[in-house]
């Protein structure tokens, strides 16, 4: 395999709005990010992914971009962004940005021009279609609920949007539009950006016939991803994008890809793939409900284990995936993947170890390194997220009571990941001196950076060790390029795997149960690399306590 500059890196996702506020307006900002670069460096981070910071009306928290060339005033200025790039570079760190090009904001100049002249050039930057006897052209439900089609005022046409109606989809069949996007991407890369996280990208290829599908909900609509799955040819668009942009600059790209077709993985992440890597969402998909969050199953340990193992085995045939336990669209990993008894510092370290030492690029989401958890939500009004509001209505329509619907949202809401970063036990968790845009998790006095920095045994200090081990001269090679092989798959409550190459063999083994488990090791122990309970000795017959994780070098 050809080695790439990003293979051995550890990445961190910042959700700027909730990271660190320096001017007291309750909104995180670029100055705040700059002020925390040393903190991230100490954690061992190489690549920082910034969720969108472009000019936006924030209907979907910046995933609705009104100007691809401008920084949102809320976050700061272009000069501050340039300063961030320079400060990151000084520390040998790389910045990647979110690239949201399936859609833009309805306030983008292109869309405004399209509305002003629905038969003109800019209308063809979007999908403007005639309705069927006054009804929308097809029966698709958008990802955020309601029809994918919105009337174009003063006409018999509708425009297409797979997310909110304020996020019109861009017409990728139009070469002129593509050129505009490529120009913009290259402009950012020329500035010194190391690459992009690429949003919702699988959706760019539409079935231009927009056929109706069998309704799959009480609203009589069909999920719009059915259209995505019904069409071929996204690969050609992605190659065109890559050749005109990323490839020329050796940029690092990580795609948000759902609904990939069987057997397509090598085309996405192989040596000549469309992207450097894509996120592994397989474990997260275990809690996809058939109709929404209200019928989302809880994650079962054995299924979770099997899913991760299968994914690792499959992916290593083609390339690398990016491993996460959470991001800004998901509830907190500790609250989701750990049973209640395991939502402790020990359990949190265990889950982190399993995730960070997998084969692939680890992405740590802000707050994960201190073990942030889901918040307690007392009313639907406390949420900001557009998709949470939609899911609440879906749950109510399906017959759940207010309380039940609230419970569903509390468990699954994206806002669980978006509550402000917990820096200290000071007011508002030290995130802001003003009024935070979204409420602070009430557990910030127990879980925060400042107190964990002082505690040698804290989750934060453990994450620092974990990342250090992964990148250490001794083990870097095996953790980056070593094969993955599952172990003890038949032992209840044990999640374990080997990472090995011609030189070294490492065993990562965790006991997700409450009770101790005895394991016969297959190989003699050479060295304890890491432990969440300061173990000094490991025998061939290993007694692994409940919630214990240990990383061993075998001989
Ligand atoms: C992606 C983003 C999500 C956003 C959506 C629409 O899934 O991660 O936050 O709402 O795309 O841009
Ligand atoms: Ca601010």
pLDDT band at 218 (very low <50, low <70, confident <90, very high): confident
CB neighbourhood size of 403 (10 A) = 8
Q: Are 452 and 458 in contact (CB under 8 A)?
A: yes
pLDDT in tens, 249-268: 999 999 999 989 889 999 99
Q: Which ligand sits nearest to residue 329's alpha carbon? A: 1
- Where b means 16+ CB within 10 Å and e means fewer, 29-63 reads bbbbbbebbeebeebbbbbbbbbbbbbbebbbbbb
* pLDDT at residue number 410: 98
Tell me, using a 6 A CB cutoff, whether residue 63 lines ligand 1.
yes
Q: What is the pLDDT of residue 364?
A: 99
- Mean of the pLDDT values across residues 450-465? 98
CATH number for position 447: 3.20.20.80
For residues 28 and 432, what is the distance between their CA atoms, to the nearest angstrom? 8
pLDDT at residue 475, rounded to an integer:
98
Considering its fold, how many domains does the chain have in total? 3
> Does residue 405 have its Cβ closer than 6 Å to ligand 1?
no
Residues 120 and 224 in one domain: no
Q: What is the mean pLDDT of residues 526-546?
A: 95
147, β-bridge pairs: 141
Within 316-420, residue ranges assigned H as helices are 333-337, 345-356, 386-397, 402-412, 415-418
pLDDT band at 368 (very low <50, low <70, confident <90, very high): very high
253 and 354 within one domain: yes
Domain-embedded: residue 139? yes
Q: Is 199 in the pocket of ligand 1 (CB under 6 A)?
A: yes
pLDDT in tens, 436-452: 999 999 999 999 999 99
Q: With residue 364 as reference, give the H or E element that holds it.
A: strand 361-365
Report which protein residue has its CA nearest ligand 1's atom 9: 329
Query: Which numbered atom of ligand 1 lies nearest the CA of 329?
Result: 9
Identify the pLDDT of residue 227. Answer: 97
Let me know whether 16 and 141 are in one domain: no
Among the bound ligands, the one closest to the CA of 24: 2
Domain shared by 484 and 504, yes or no: yes
d(CA 184, CA 145): 30
pLDDT over 90 at 492, yes or no: yes
Q: Which domain range does residue 133 map to?
A: 109-160
As a whole number, the mean pLDDT across the chain is 97
Average pLDDT over residues 374-391: 98
Residue range 403-425, pLDDT digits in tens:
999 999 999 999 999 999 999 99
368 and 265 together in one domain? yes
Is 409 near ligand 1, meaning CB less than 6 Å away? no
Q: Are 357 and 387 in contact (CB under 8 A)?
A: no
Are 279 and 256 spatial neighbours (Cβ–Cβ below 8 Å)?
yes
In a domain, 408, yes or no: no
Residue 393 is assigned to a structural domain of this protein: no
CATH number of the domain to which 128 belongs: 3.90.400.10
Q: What percent of the chain has pLDDT over 70?
A: 100
**How big, in percent rounded to 5, are the helix, strand and coil portions of the chain?**
35, 20, 45
Q: Which residues are catalytic?
A: 199, 256
Tokens of 362: 């680890």
Nearest by Cα to 196 from 74, 41, 68: 68
Mean pLDDT throughout 3-28?
A: 98
Q: What is the pLDDT of residue 197?
A: 98
* Residue 180 neighbours by CB distance under 10 Å: 16
Residue 448 lies in a domain: yes
Is residue 163 predicted with pLDDT exceeding 90?
yes
Q: Atom 7 (ligand 1): residue with closest C-alpha?
A: 200
Are 215 and 145 in the same domain? Answer: no
pTM of the model as a whole: 0.98
pLDDT for 1 beyond 90? no
State the CATH number of the domain containing residue 505.
Answer: 2.60.40.1180
Q: Is the CB of 329 under 6 A from ligand 1?
A: yes
Main-chain phi, psi angles of 316, to 5 degrees: -65, -15
476 CA distance to ligand 1 middle (Å): 33
Give the residue whose CA is nearest to atom 6 of ligand 1: 63
Residue 235: pLDDT above 90?
yes
Question: Does residue 90 sit in the same domain as residue 117?
Answer: no
pLDDT at 334: 98
Examine the domain organization and report whether 85 and 120 are in the same domain. Answer: no
The answer to whether the CB of 74 falls within 8 A of the CB of 84 is no
| Confidence band of 469 (pLDDT split at 50, 70, 90) | very high
- Residue 305 pLDDT more than 90? yes
Task: Work out the end-to-end distance of the chain between its first and last CA atoms, rounded to an integer number of angstroms.
Answer: 26
372 C-alpha to ligand 2 centroid (Å): 22
Taking only the tens place, the pLDDT of each residue in 33-52 is 999 999 999 999 999 999 99
Which tens digits make up the pLDDT trace of 288-300?
999 999 999 999 9
What per-residue confidence (pLDDT) applies to 259? 86
Position 362 in a domain: yes
Determine which residue's CA is closest to atom 4 belonging to ligand 1: 63
Q: Is the CB of 202 under 6 A from ligand 1?
A: no
Residues 257 and 364 in one domain: yes
């Amino acid at each position: 395999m050809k080695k790439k500059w990003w293979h051995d890196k550890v990445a961190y996702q910042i959700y700027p709005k909730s990271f660190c506020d320096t001017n007291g307006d309750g909104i995180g900002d670029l100055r705040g990010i700059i002020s925390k670069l040393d903190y991230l460096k100490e954690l061992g981070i190489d690549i920082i992914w910034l969720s969108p910071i472009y000019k936006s009306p924030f209907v979907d928290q910046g995933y609705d971009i009104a100007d691809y060339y401008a920084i949102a005033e809320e976050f700061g200025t272009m000069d501050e962004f340039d300063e961030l790039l320079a400060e990151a570079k000084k520390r040998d760190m790389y910045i990647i940005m979110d690239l949201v090009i399936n859609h833009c904001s309805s306030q983008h100049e292109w869309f405004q021009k399209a509305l002003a002249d629905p038969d003109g050039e800019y209308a063809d930057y979007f999908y403007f279609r005639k309705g069927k006897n006054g009804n929308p052209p097809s029966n698709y439900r958008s990802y955020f609920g309601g029809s994918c089609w919105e009337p174009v005022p003063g006409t018999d046409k509708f425009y297409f949007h797979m997310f909110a109606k304020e996020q019109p989809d861009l017409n990728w069949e139009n070469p002129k539009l593509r050129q505009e996007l490529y120009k913009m991407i290259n402009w950012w890369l020329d500035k010194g950006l190391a690459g992009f996280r690429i949003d919702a990208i699988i959706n760019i290829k539409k079935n231009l016939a927009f056929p109706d599908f069998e309704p799959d909900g009480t609203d009589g609509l069909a999920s719009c991803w059915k259209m995505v799955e019904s069409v071929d040819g996204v690969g050609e668009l992605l190659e065109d994008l890559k050749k005109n942009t990323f490839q020329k600059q050796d940029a690092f790209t990580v795609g948000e890809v759902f609904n990939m077709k069987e057997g397509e993985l090598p085309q996405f992440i192989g040596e000549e793939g469309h992207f450097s890597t894509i996120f592994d969402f397989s474990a997260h998909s275990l809690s996809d409900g058939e109709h929404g969050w209200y019928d989302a199953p809880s994650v079962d340990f054995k299924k979770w284990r099997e899913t991760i193992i299968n994914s690792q085995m499959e992916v290593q045939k083609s390339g690398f995936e990016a491993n996460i336990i959470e991001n800004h669209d998901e509830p907190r990993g500790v609250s989701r993947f750990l049973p209640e008894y395991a939502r402790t510092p020990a359990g949190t370290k265990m889950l982190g170890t399993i995730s960070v030492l997998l084969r692939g690029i680890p992405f740590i989401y802000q707050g994960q390194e201190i073990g942030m958890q889901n918040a307690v939500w007392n009313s639907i009004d406390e949420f900001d997220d557009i998709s949470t509001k939609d899911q609440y209505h879906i749950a109510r329509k399906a017959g759940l009571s207010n309380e039940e619907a609230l419970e569903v949202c509390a468990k699954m809401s994206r806002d669980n990941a978006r509550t402000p970063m917990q820096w200290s036990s000071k007011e508002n968790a030290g995130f802001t001196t003003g009024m935070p845009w979204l409420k602070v998790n009430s557990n910030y006095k127990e879980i925060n950076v400042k107190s964990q920095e002082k505690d040698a045994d804290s989750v934060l200090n453990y994450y620092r060790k974990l990342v250090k081990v992964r990148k250490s001269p001794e083990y870097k090679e095996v953790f980056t390029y070593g094969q993955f092989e599952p172990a003890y798959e038949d032992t209840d409550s044990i999640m374990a795997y080997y990472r090995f190459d011609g030189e070294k063999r490492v065993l990562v083994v965790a006991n997700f149960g409450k009770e101790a488990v005895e394991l016969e090791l297959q190989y003699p122990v050479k060295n304890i690399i890491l432990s969440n309970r300061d173990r000094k000795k490991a025998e061939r017959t290993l007694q692994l306590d409940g919630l214990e994780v240990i990383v061993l070098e075998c001989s």
